[in-house]
């Protein structure tokens, strides 16, 4: 699952023509860049500070964008929990958009879920142009890579763990080009985790 580095509180980007929603991603990442299955090692570094940051980011968001693998994992984990905790309540009560070329609407059994397929860039751009608060991307490292490459990601929050994972999908391994970013916030936590928030330069 993805996480927040101190919360993502910037909900809108103002242009001359209109107010555009932001897409903000939050992930847990090892020192060697692995963002796949962080549940294998992030628990040992969890803290109240991280929980507070996640809750802040949820309050600033009103939609979730996920890749197929994250959607299927989250549905299994969070759907049965109802509103038993803030994360479950947010995911069960918030509209979810799933990017996939293999799923279809009939397989999306989690209430409040829509499929994005075909012209993915166009559909996501239309979401950004519509009304609402921040669109949150939890985890979904492959989707985050694609959003970065397409210029559709506005904010990237990383909780960087003091650990070398050694194996697994790396967040930037398939990005294919240079993408300048601006560090807008950095917060070293007592557990050794570094929370870092970046926006496009």
The tens place of each residue's pLDDT in the chain, 201 residues long, gives 444 344 444 444 444 455 789 999 999 999 999 998 888 888 899 988 888 888 888 889 999 999 999 999 999 999 999 998 889 999 999 999 999 999 998 889 999 999 999 999 999 999 999 999 999 999 999 999 999 999 999 999 999 999 999 998 899 988 888 999 999 999 999 999 999 999 998
Based on the number of CB atoms within 10 Å of its own CB, is 178 exposed (0-12), middle (13-18) or buried (19 or more)?
Answer: exposed
Q: Quote the pLDDT of residue 18.
A: 56
Residues 149 and 143: their CA atoms lie apart, in Å, by 10
Characterise 107 by phi-psi region: left (phi > 0), alpha (psi -120 to 50), beta (else).
alpha
Q: Quote the pLDDT of residue 42.
A: 87
Beta bridge partners of 19: 14
| Whole-structure pTM value | 0.86
Q: Quote the pLDDT of residue 182.
A: 98
Residue 75's contacts (CB-CB under 8 Å, 6 or more residues apart) are 109, 110
Q: Quote the pLDDT of residue 110.
A: 96
For residue 101, give both structure tokens.
């070329």
Q: Quote the pLDDT of residue 53.
A: 86
> Cα–chain-centroid distance for residue 10?
14
Based on the number of CB atoms within 10 Å of its own CB, is 102 exposed (0-12), middle (13-18) or buried (19 or more)?
Answer: exposed
**Pick from 78, 27, 14: which is nearest to 57 by CA?**
27
Q: Quote the pLDDT of residue 4.
A: 38
φ, ψ at 132 (rounded to 5°): 135, 180
Domains defined along the chain, listed by start: 12-200 (3.40.430.10)
Based on the number of CB atoms within 10 Å of its own CB, is 130 exposed (0-12), middle (13-18) or buried (19 or more)?
Answer: exposed
Name the E strands within 22-173.
23-29, 61-67, 95-99, 113-116, 134-138, 155-160
């Amino acid at each position: 699952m993805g996480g927040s580095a101190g919360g993502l509180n910037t909900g809108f980007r103002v242009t001359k023509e209109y107010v555009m929603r932001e897409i903000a991603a939050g992930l847990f990442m090892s020192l060697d860049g692995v963002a796949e299955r962080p549940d294998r090692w992030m628990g040992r570094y969890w803290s109240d500070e991280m929980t507070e940051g996640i809750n802040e980011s949820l309050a600033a968001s009103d939609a979730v964008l996920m890749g197929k693998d994250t959607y299927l994992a989250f549905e299994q984990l969070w759907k049965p929990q109802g509103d038993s905790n803030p994360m479950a309540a947010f995911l069960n009560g918030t509209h979810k958009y799933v990017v996939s070329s293999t799923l279809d609407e009939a397989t999306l059994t989690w209430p409040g879920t829509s499929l994005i397929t075909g012209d993915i860039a166009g559909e996501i751009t239309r979401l950004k142009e519509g009304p609402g608060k921040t669109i949150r991307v939890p985890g979904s490292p492959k989707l985050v890579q694609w959003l970065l490459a397409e210029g559709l990601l506005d904010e990237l929050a990383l909780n960087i763990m003091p650990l070398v994972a050694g194996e697994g999908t790396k967040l930037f391994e398939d990005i294919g080009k240079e993408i300048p970013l601006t560090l807008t916030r950095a917060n070293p936590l007592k557990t050794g985790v570094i929370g870092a928030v970046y926006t496009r330069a």
